[in-house]
Amino acid sequence: MSVHPRNVVLALVLAALLAANALLARPRSEAQAGGPLAPGFDPAAVERIELSAPGAEPLALERGDGGLWTVVQRGGFPAYAFAVDELFARVRALSRSDRVGEEAAAHDAQGVGASGTRLAFEDRDGRALLELVQGAPPGLAAGCNVRLAAEVDVYRAPGLPPVPVSPAAWLDTRLAVFEPAEVRALAARRQGQPWLELERDALGWGAPGPEGARAQRTRVERLLQVAAQLIFADVLALEAGPATGLDAPVTELVLELKDGERVTLALGGRADDGAYYATNSGWPRPWCVALPAETADVLLAALEDVAQGVKR
């Protein structure tokens, strides 16, 4: 019995439809394997980052003058630039290669539901460039789970650790930025009274004048190293008012650099938790920060050590 040509054509069409259906039915992770989660995401276009999580203080980072990032909730204090750049790099590296869920009902268990952290990246006009939800459920070895806020599919992101949402975690917490080798003179005051004055010369360090007292070089160098490594905990206020004790600092250290720039570090009173109120005259605003007691005590001890080592 012969087969009618029309039936042959119909059979071929049916086979083609079945093949197409099989391709469409493949898991989306296979079809999209290796593709970026956020194709076209351009960090250079981002002017504002908003991070939020249930029960946490809100966080907004904004690109300020000269492209420098600032922390909005801390009065525009400079953000740690490396941390922002690292976040951009990790977000750009997100891919769809490991899809672990595709049901909205599973989002809470996967950490990307109501308890997840939301990351929003906006341009200068406030338009959303990218919105993500991330979370790390118990037992996750590294990184997190992540999804696009407008999608239900969830992906493993081993290269993206949970992003901190505390404003303090993004601050550039260096109290002063200078190179110890660039300091040519220093002066210290206690309760507003002169305490120590030294200049760098060919022999090391000594008080001004031909008959000035000499200081031990190693002690002065240690003091400068300590001052250059001071790390504060958080920004407490936008102005160093009387309540901080910085209107009449307990201790001041003035460093004069070779280019004529001066850096003045001041310690005021102590907060309830024992931290010292502190500020840096080189900041564009008189921010008041919390310098942990153990850190401040190391600085004060180094100052005392230099003073005691001065010989005539």
Beta strands, E only, the chain: 48-52, 59-63, 69-71, 77-78, 99-101, 117-122, 128-135, 144-148, 154-157, 183-190, 193-201, 204-206, 214-215, 234-237, 251-257, 262-270, 276-280, 288-291
Contact between 176 and 226 under an 8 Å Cβ cutoff? The reply is: no
Task: Return the axis-axis angle of helices 293-309 and 217-228, rounded to nearest 10°.
Answer: 160
The answer to whether residue 33 scores a pLDDT higher than 60 is no
At residue 30, the pLDDT reads: 45
For residues 153-165, average pLDDT: 96
Give the mean pLDDT of 115-125. 97
At 9, is the pLDDT very low, low, confident or very high (cuts 50, 70, 90)? very low
Neighbours of 65 (CB within 10 A): 8
Asked if pLDDT for residue 7 goes beyond 80, the answer is no
**Phi, psi (degrees; rounded to nearest 5) at 62:** -130, 145
Per the DSSP assignment, residues forming a β-bridge with 61 are 49, 71
pLDDT of residue 177: 93
Return the ∠ at Cα 255 (arms to 253 and 258), rounded to 5°. 175
Q: Which residue has the tokens 């102590």?
A: 270
Nearest to 80 by CA among 290, 227, 235, 223: 235
pLDDT band at 31 (very low <50, low <70, confident <90, very high): very low
Q: Within 10 A of 37 (CB to CB), how many other CB atoms are there?
A: 22
Percent pLDDT > 90 in the chain is 76
Q: What is the pLDDT of residues 253-303, one digit of tens each?
A: 999 999 999 999 999 999 989 999 999 988 989 899 999 999 999 999 999
pLDDT attached to residue 209: 82
Cα separation, 80 vs 60, in Å, equals 13
pLDDT for position 20: 52
Average pLDDT over residues 30-51: 86
Task: Delineate the domains of the chain, giving CATH numbers in brackets.
Answer: 35-170 (no CATH), 180-309 (2.60.40)
Are 223 and 305 contacting, i.e. CB atoms less than 8 angstroms apart?
Answer: yes
Beta strands in 31-113 (DSSP E): 48-52, 59-63, 69-71, 77-78, 99-101
pLDDT given for residue 212 in this prediction: 82
* Position 21 confidence tier, pLDDT thresholds 50, 70, 90: low
Q: Is the pLDDT of residue 27 over 90?
A: no
Separation between Cα atoms, residue 44 and residue 89, nearest integer Å: 12
CA dist 63 and 72 (Å) reads: 10
Question: Residue 109 corresponds to which tokens in the numbers above?
Answer: 């268990």
Q: What is the mean pLDDT of residues 204-210?
A: 89
Q: What is the mean pLDDT of residues 52-78?
A: 94
Instruction: Read off the pTM.
Output: 0.83
Q: Which amino acid makes up residue 311?
A: K
The mean predicted confidence, pLDDT, of the chain is 89
Residue 281's φ and ψ, nearest 5 degrees, are -65, -15
Q: Over 50: is that where the pLDDT of 28 sits?
A: no
What DSSP designation does 215 have? E
d(CA 67, CA 61): 12
DSSP 2: P
Residues 212-266: tens digit of each pLDDT: 899 999 999 999 999 999 999 999 988 877 889 998 899 999 999 999 999 999 9
